Amino acid sequence: MAARHQSGAAKERALDELRGKAAHWRGCPLAEGATQIVFGVGPATARVMFIGEAPSKYEDEEGVPFVGPAGAIFNKALARAKLDRDEAYVTNVEKFKHSKKAGRNQPPKQSEINACRPWLLKEIAIVQPEIICCLGALAAKWVLGRDFKLMKQRGKWLSSEFAPNVLATIHPAVVLNRPDEERRAEAEKMLVADMRKVARRYRSLDAGRGRASERAA
């Protein structure tokens, strides 16, 4: 894609323009009950992109993905894996907050996912990440196809049309939703282990780029 060959400044301008266009868009059925669109955040030059499911009420209030309780789990896992969130692009499949039913968040319907699809496609086209980490089954199926099975294929490196290196893991909210402390610890350990795989792949790409620069010199 053309964005791969753009300068960092040009990519930042393109992303800012896209974010500006999205700010007033209300074309998703979930927009009616939302405060604002929750667009992705992070540098347009990021080599790692994290894609989650949909914003919660916390993200809806702040307009930033992964800032609520699940965001705290996400940030903790990143820190334990020695990944810098500021160097990553973080976004969601759905751009408006979850709908509610019986006091619980409901996953987006296909019509809602389809409505927001063009925005995520454009985010990916501009950022052109080398690594995508899918947080949860919904994001994994969006990136890797409907046949993807999260608990069978979690933590395995795959590729897709969107990035050469794709890994899916559990959504950080899964840690929060475990019924007891022991199961929460197990889920968090699983999430951190997968984040460490992302960190290792990220560092290996850095090392490979360094060797290529040395050969060119």
Q: Is residue 213 part of a domain?
A: no
Percentage of residues of the chain with pLDDT beyond 70: 90
Q: Is residue 217 part of a domain?
A: no
Q: Is residue 214 part of a domain?
A: no
Q: Is residue 6 part of a domain?
A: yes
Q: Which domain holds residue 35?
A: 2-208
Model pLDDT for residues 141-150, shown as the tens digit of each residue: 999 999 999 9
Q: Residues 31, 122, 72, 8: what is their CA dihedral angle, to the nearest 10 degrees?
A: -140
Model pLDDT for residues 194-210, shown as the tens digit of each residue: 999 999 999 998 776 65
Of 107 and 31, the structure prediction assigns the larger pLDDT to 31
Of 214 and 61, the structure prediction assigns the larger pLDDT to 61
Model-level pTM greater than 0.85? yes
- The tally of CA atoms less than 13 A away on the side-chain side of residue 198 is 33
Query: DSSP letter string over 120-137?
Result: HHHHHHHH--SEEEEESH
> What's the farthest any 2 CA atoms get from each other in the chain?
62
CB 116 within 8 A of CB 131: no
The CATH number given to whatever domain includes residue 180 is 3.40.470.10
| Angle, in degrees to the nearest 10, between helices 137-144 and 110-127 | 60
Average pLDDT over residues 113-137: 98
Query: How many degrees, rounded to 5, is the angle at CA 187 between CA 134 and CA 46?
Result: 30
Closest CA to 26 of 116, 100, 120: 116
Q: Domains in the chain: how many in total?
A: 1
pLDDT-derived band at 1 (thresholds 50, 70, 90) equals very low
Q: Is residue 65 part of a domain?
A: yes
Model pLDDT for residues 46-60, shown as the tens digit of each residue: 999 999 999 999 999
Residue 142 pLDDT: 98
Q: Which residues contact 87 (CB under 8 A, 6 or more apart)?
A: 42, 43, 46, 47, 48
Kind plus residue range of the DSSP H or E element containing 202: helix 181-216
CB 58 within 8 A of CB 67: yes
| C-alpha span between 197 and 179 (Å, rounded) | 27
Q: Is residue 216 part of a domain?
A: no
Q: Is residue 113 part of a domain?
A: yes
* Mean pLDDT across the chain: 92
Model pLDDT for residues 7-28, shown as the tens digit of each residue: 899 999 999 999 999 999 999 9
In the block, which residue shows the tokens 């951190």?
A: 192
pLDDT-derived band at 5 (thresholds 50, 70, 90) equals low
Q: Is residue 105 part of a domain?
A: yes
